[in-house]
Amino acid sequence: MAALQHFNPGTVVEWKLEQSSGTPEYIFNYVFWAFKPAIDGFSHYRPVISIDGTHVCGKYDIKLLIVVAVDANGQIFPLAFAICANESTETWTLFLNHMKEHVVKHRSGMLWRTTPVSS
């Protein structure tokens, strides 16, 4: 992620690590990132975002969260990403709060609900 930020100035990266008890080691829990061009470009896209999560197949059981918008040509534009150890209310809330803080911060007319809607 450091290389990502170095070669893409203005890219936002937020980590959440947990320290394991009794040792100086940290356990990965969550990482969020959004590229600077996506952050700057969002003010010119439609004020609707789509959010989804998926399982990542491989050595580790992790989840990929992604949020996209649609540009004036109807093309999908990725805004932000997160990789998390588990998909939970806590990680979705963290993801949406990072989105609000770093990407949507200057966009007017966006309504946010970071608590689950009960049916």
Picking from 13-17, 81-85, 97-101, 104-108, which range would have the lowest pLDDT averaged per residue?
A: 104-108
The reported pTM is 0.80
For 1-119, where are the alpha helices, taking DSSP H only? 2-7, 36-41, 89-102
CA angle 44, 50, 55 (to 5 degrees): 135
The tokens of 10 are what?
A: 């203005």
pLDDT at 113: 53
CA angle 25, 31, 71 (to 5 degrees): 175
pLDDT more than 90, % of the chain: 20
pLDDT at 117: 45
Q: Phi, psi (5° rounding) for residue 112?
A: -125, 135
